[in-house]
């Protein structure tokens, strides 16, 4: 029986290594080349060959719970004891982006590159202190 572990939207992902038992990972995320696309991937790591199942590009998105049920069945069939699931689109900021049809400029705030503890009070190299390691 496969154990489904649900991660929070911004939790770190588990890493595969030679000593860890095989596991599966289901992740839902925004598309890299298309901010309107939401992609769902299923990967298996460990002694089983890694395969990726991608869904959602240019089509309708399967319901998250249906995806998890299907992934759990597949992991169970492969004898994988642990399946991690994370929906990277489920965070507060991400939900706001989805509600604006993928517009990542929603609620744009000016970014600041100021670090007064290190003597950096600006966003250009010329605003940094002379001993910051940069030549003027």
**Domain boundaries, given as residue ranges, for the chain:** 3-99, 107-136
Q: Mean pLDDT across the chain, nearest whole number?
A: 74
For the stretch 22-80, pLDDT in tens is: 899 999 887 777 666 778 888 888 766 666 566 555 555 678 898 899 899 999 998 99
The confidence score (pLDDT) of residue 16 equals 79
What's the CA gap between 115 and 127, in Å, rounded? 11
| CATH of region 3-99 | 3.30.420
Higher per-residue confidence, 42 vs 109: 42
Burial 90-122 (b: 16+ CB within 10 A, else e): eeeebeebbeeeeeeeeeeeeeeeeeeeeeeee
Q: Based on C-alpha coordinates, what's the Rg of the chain?
A: 21
What's the CA gap between 66 and 56, in Å, rounded? 13
Range with lowest mean pLDDT among 17-26, 64-73, 101-110: 101-110
The confidence score (pLDDT) of residue 73 equals 92
The confidence score (pLDDT) of residue 92 equals 78
């Amino acid at each position: 029986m496969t154990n489904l572990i649900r991660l929070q939207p911004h939790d770190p992902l588990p890493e595969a290594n030679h000593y860890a038992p095989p596991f599966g990972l289901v992740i839902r995320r925004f598309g890299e080349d298309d901010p309107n696309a939401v992609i769902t991937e299923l990967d298996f790591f460990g002694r089983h060959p890694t395969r990726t199942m991608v869904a959602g590009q240019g089509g309708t998105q399967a319901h998250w719970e249906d995806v998890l049920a299907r992934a759990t069945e597949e992991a169970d069939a492969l004898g994988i004891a642990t399946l991690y699931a994370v929906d990277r689109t489920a965070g507060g900021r991400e939900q706001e982006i989805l509600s604006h049809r993928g517009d990542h400029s929603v609620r744009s705030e000016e970014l600041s590159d100021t670090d007064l503890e290190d003597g950096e009070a600006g966003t250009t190299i010329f605003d940094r202190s002379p001993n910051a390691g940069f030549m003027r």
